[in-house]
Amino acid sequence: MSRISTKKPQSIGANLRPVSANFSLKEHIYGVLRSAIMEMDIYSDDIDLRLDERQLAEQLGISRTPIREALAKLEQEGFVEILPRKGVYVKPKTLEEVLEMVVVWAALESMAARLVTTVATDDEIGTLRVLGVKHSADSNRADIAEYSEANILFHQRILELSGCKLLKNTADSLLQHMYAVRRRAMREGDRVNRSVVDHMAIIEALENREGDLAAMLVRDHTMKLHDHIHKTWMAFGGRSMGKGN
């Protein structure tokens, strides 16, 4: 029987710690809050999406002014929604937005995989095997949070090895909004096992310098996530997805 852990944080507070005196508030509060939001399971059914400025200030040991400044920037980037007289809420993407992000991610990483076969060294490609085989021996026992992180690192490494900084930076901006999506999807069905199998095939194609095959496998792997979300989450009416303004 699977022993996959499905424990998830219920609010942003669980991910926050007091700010060290070595940090510059102006430069780091935004990053602290963004990281905490990215680690929230914002697409789960029982998550509390409301952010309390006063509580955040107390937890971080700072005044509310830098909190407000950070929240304003996070709103500009689509992480939170500030509703007058109602409060601040973490803002999940709509189902349509999530599906579009996955499509764009598939296109970017597919191109990256093709580039890897032409510019990366054998040793660099070998680092993907280290990431890919970590959970292959007993994927049924893999902790969801741990595997999800390793999975993200695997895909980020492909983008990094492409040698195209703009390609990676563009994908990274999408990934910031994809963490919670991937985390939820990994808990559903047999996606961990199937992900491990796909990774092994991708690595083999990259090692053999088969650019067309590697690009196709990476694209198809990501589009399986798209199809899973479209079929499974749509069946629940976009459950836990953002509804927009």
Domain CATH code at residue 142: 1.20.120.530
108: left (phi over 0), alpha (psi -120 to 50) or beta: alpha
- The answer to whether residue 214 is domain-embedded is yes
Find out whether 135 and 142 touch, Cβ atoms under 8 Å: yes
DSSP string, 63-106: -HHHHHHHHHHHHHTTSEEEETTTEEEE-PPPHHHHHHHHHHHH
Please check whether residues 60 and 142 belong to one and the same domain.
no
Please check whether residues 152 and 180 belong to one and the same domain.
yes
Name 193's Cβ contacts closer than 8 Å, sequence gap at least 6. Answer: 139, 140
The highest-confidence range among 20-24, 47-51, 187-191, by mean pLDDT, is: 47-51
- The answer to whether residue 79 is domain-embedded is yes
127-137 pLDDT per residue, tens: 998 887 665 55
194-229 pLDDT per residue, tens: 888 899 999 999 999 999 999 999 999 999 999 999
Please check whether residues 213 and 117 belong to one and the same domain.
yes
Instruction: Provide the pLDDT confidence category of residue 143 given band limits of 50, 70 and 90.
Output: low
Q: Which two tokens stand for residue 55?
A: 């509580």
pLDDT on residue 196:
85
Name 11's Cβ contacts closer than 8 Å, sequence gap at least 6. Answer: 40, 47, 48
76-109 pLDDT per residue, tens: 999 999 999 899 999 999 999 999 999 999 999 9
- State the distance between the two ends of the chain, measured CA to CA, in whole angstroms: 43
How do 80-83 and 50-51 pair as beta strands? unpaired
pLDDT on residue 215:
98
Minimum mean pLDDT range among 20-34, 39-53, 181-195: 20-34
User: 48: helix, coil or strand?
Assistant: coil
Please check whether residues 21 and 77 belong to one and the same domain.
yes
Please check whether residues 85 and 99 belong to one and the same domain.
no
Q: What is the mean pLDDT of residues 146-169?
A: 90
The one-character DSSP state at 171 is H
- The residue segments making up the domain with residue 40 are 15-90
Q: Above pLDDT 70, what percent of the chain?
A: 79
Q: Tell me how many domains the chain contains.
A: 2
Please check whether residues 48 and 165 belong to one and the same domain.
no
The highest-confidence range among 60-69, 112-121, 189-198, by mean pLDDT, is: 112-121
Q: Which two tokens stand for residue 56?
A: 């955040």
Of 37, 72, 90, which one is at a domain's C-terminal end?
90
- The answer to whether residue 2 is domain-embedded is no
Of 25, 56, 90, which one is at a domain's C-terminal end?
90
Please check whether residues 56 and 107 belong to one and the same domain.
no
Please check whether residues 179 and 100 belong to one and the same domain.
yes
Domain CATH code at residue 81: 1.10.10.10
3-state SS, one letter per residue, for 9-31: CCCHHHHCCCCCCCCCHHHHHHH
Asked if the model's pLDDT at residue 53 lies above 80, the reply is: yes
How do 87-90 and 50-51 pair as beta strands? antiparallel
- The answer to whether residue 1 is domain-embedded is no
Instruction: Provide the pLDDT confidence category of residue 3 given band limits of 50, 70 and 90.
Output: very low
Q: What is the mean pLDDT of residues 177-190?
A: 82
Please check whether residues 121 and 155 belong to one and the same domain.
yes
Please, which residues bridge with residue 82 across strands? 88
- The Cα–Cα gap between 45 and 10 comes to 10
- The answer to whether residue 7 is domain-embedded is no
Among 226, 205, 224, residue whose Cα is nearest residue 215: 205
Of 32, 66, 90, which one is at a domain's C-terminal end?
90
Instruction: Provide the pLDDT confidence category of residue 169 given band limits of 50, 70 and 90.
Output: very high
